[in-house]
Amino acid sequence: MSRKYFGTDGVRGPYGSATMNEDFAWRLGAAAGAWLREQGTAPDSLVVIGRDTRASGAALVQALADGLVSAGVRPQSLGIVPTPAVSLAVRQRSAALGVVVTASHNPAADNGIKFFGANGIKLTDAQEERIESLLPDARPGTATHPLPVVDGKADYLASIRSGLPLNLQGWRIVLDTANGATVATSATILRDAGAELFTLGAEPNGRNINQDVGSEHPEKLCAAVRSHGAKIGVAHDGDGDRCVLCDEQGVVLDGDEILTLLALHALRQGRLVANTLVVTVQSNLGVEAAVSAAGGKVVRSPVGDRYVIERMLAEGAHLGGESSGHVICADVCPTGDGLVAALKVIEVMIATGQPLSILRRGLTKFPQQSQAIRVKDKKPLGSLKQLPAAIASLEQELGAQGRVLVRYSGTEPKLRLLVEGPTDAVVSAGMARLRQAAAAELDIC
């Protein structure tokens, strides 16, 4: 059996669709509660729930909580908090499960639900598959139950302050919180540390999360860094588990550059645990070249931050992430945290006295292009002819000088293409061949 509803990061879709509405949220809550009881969890066990700023979030949280109550567990709302705050709350409050109602970087019209186990780490594929198998056929009525609400921000802020105590007096920082879940957390941490803060995406209204702001749209961040003379710009996605940074010259850094910068500094200090950095198959080959040259090791996982975390646990590593900006610093938080990633980079800037434009030079990227093609249907790649043939031909031509990655997004109706090679011209030509082959066999929107 394969998962029908869960993707690489929970269940996600347009609010009001067959798999993202109050009835489905109730059913998913009931199934998750049944799974907990199946695991031997005690009756009345605590489940903590957080959400981002989407207008649909409150109704979905209530329906999810009602489903959990029907299965004999005790839900508690953390309010609007970033995803990593839920991960930490599971541990801090000894909860049996954590749930976040969010669609991350997706538009406001979407929403989603993702789970954290009792260790604060996202559930495995097998666990999600089992929850799906326990979904009841229908929601029996629409009765609601009182949902206790606690301040989920306080414990999270205390944990960040104790884990990364920084003095940012004299620092100018631009912060873009994507009109999302980090509006009341990241700004508080940075201001309390003494930074002079300039904010973007800090006026959520339920409908504007990720709208032309945040990690998916860093253009305004870069312009603001230049205009204010800031040392760094930080942009989160809607739920705050990732970040994109901008150096003092107004140039964006992606996750690969952040991870390489952190790994190289840790190696120089003799503090890269297991001498290992975990990245995904999406990350640039230049990451391996830089870390290996410094005496470290890079291992890869499938795309998805929970797969990165699984590999980190297997390797005994504490640092890993994705090129998209998910960065996991396991010494501070068990899941991706955009604020922690930014603070870790600032910590390196303070320790070395070097600006971000210099520190980023530790990574020399191989020429790379990536594209996302929206498709009407995700036809199995194995059932196609022209696209697999184009992939095989290009891989043979590139040999050890490059690589090709073709996969469907786990959260959106998109085919993702990636080509790396020795020159920009080779990469561009290879990408054109893949696009042509994909267009010949898939219904492209």
Residue 348 inside a domain? The answer is no
| End-of-domain residue from the set 251, 271, 293 | 251
Domain that holds residue 279: 254-340+358-362
Q: Same domain for 246 and 262?
A: no
Other CB atoms within 10 A of residue 1 CB: 7
Q: Same domain for 99 and 123?
A: yes
Active site (annotated) includes residue 104? yes
Q: Exactly one of 104, 186, 215, 324 is catalytic; which is it? A: 104
* CA 195, 201, 206, 211 torsion-angle sign: negative
Q: Same domain for 187 and 60?
A: no
Residue 227's pLDDT is 98
Residue 235 inside a domain? The answer is yes
CA 328 from centroid of its chain's CA atoms = 9
- Per DSSP, the residues of 196-213 read EEEEES----SS-TTSS-
Tokens for 47?
A: 């489940």
Q: Which residues contact 346 (CB under 8 A, 6 or more apart)?
A: 166, 168, 171, 232
CA angle 270, 274, 278 (to 5 degrees): 110
Q: Same domain for 275 and 221?
A: no
The residue among 321, 280, 313, 276 whose CA lies nearest residue 295 is 276
Tokens for 170?
A: 């004299």
The residue among 276, 401, 269 whose CA lies nearest residue 330 is 276
What CATH number should be reported for the domain holding residue 270?
Answer: 3.40.120.10
| Beta bridge pairs of residue 111 | 13
Spatial separation of the C-alpha atoms in residues 310 and 354, rounded to whole Å: 33
- Per DSSP, the residues of 21-57 read SHHHHHHHHHHHHHHHHHTTPPTT-EEEEEE-S-TTH
Give residue for tokens 């194995």: 382
Q: Same domain for 218 and 191?
A: yes
Residue 288 inside a domain? The answer is yes
Residue 6 inside a domain? The answer is no
| End-of-domain residue from the set 362, 395, 418 | 362
Spatial separation of the C-alpha atoms in residues 119 and 345, rounded to whole Å: 26
Tokens for 328?
A: 């996991």
Percentages of the chain per state (helix, strand, coil), in multiples of 5: 40, 20, 40
Q: Same domain for 258 and 246?
A: no
The 3-state DSSP class for residue 366 equals coil
The 3-state DSSP class for residue 320 equals strand
Q: Same domain for 16 and 146?
A: yes
For the question of whether the overall pTM of this predicted structure is more than 0.95, the answer is: no
Per the CB < 8 A criterion, the answer to whether 186 and 156 are in contact is no
What CATH number should be reported for the domain holding residue 431?
Answer: 3.30.310.50
Residue 301 inside a domain? The answer is yes
User: Where are the alpha helices (H) located in 8-151, listed in sequence order?
Assistant: 22-38, 57-70, 83-92, 125-133
The one-letter code for the residue type at 416 is: R
Residue 409's pLDDT is 87
* CA 137, 138, 143, 147 torsion-angle sign: positive
| End-of-domain residue from the set 251, 268, 284 | 251
Residue 72's pLDDT is 95
Residue 4 inside a domain? The answer is no
The one-letter code for the residue type at 258 is: I
Spatial separation of the C-alpha atoms in residues 91 and 324, rounded to whole Å: 26
Tokens for 303?
A: 């795309």
Residue 157 inside a domain? The answer is no
Residue 282's pLDDT is 87
Q: Same domain for 116 and 130?
A: yes
Tens digits of pLDDT across the chain (445 residues): 478 899 888 999 999 999 999 999 999 999 999 999 999 998 899 999 999 999 999 999 999 999 999 999 999 999 999 999 999 999 999 999 999 999 999 999 999 999 999 999 999 999 999 999 999 999 998 889 999 999 999 999 999 999 999 999 999 999 999 999 999 999 999 999 999 999 999 999 999 999 999 999 999 999 999 999 999 999 999 999 999 999 999 999 999 999 999 999 999 999 999 999 999 998 999 999 999 999 999 999 998 899 999 999 999 999 999 999 999 999 999 999 999 999 999 999 999 999 999 999 999 999 989 999 999 999 999 999 999 999 999 999 998 888 999 999 877 889 999 999 999 999 999 999 999 999 999 988 8
Q: Same domain for 60 and 193?
A: no
Q: Same domain for 18 and 144?
A: yes
Residue 345 inside a domain? The answer is no
If one counts the domains in the chain, the total is: 4
Q: Same domain for 214 and 276?
A: no
Q: Same domain for 76 and 142?
A: yes
CA 9 from centroid of its chain's CA atoms = 8
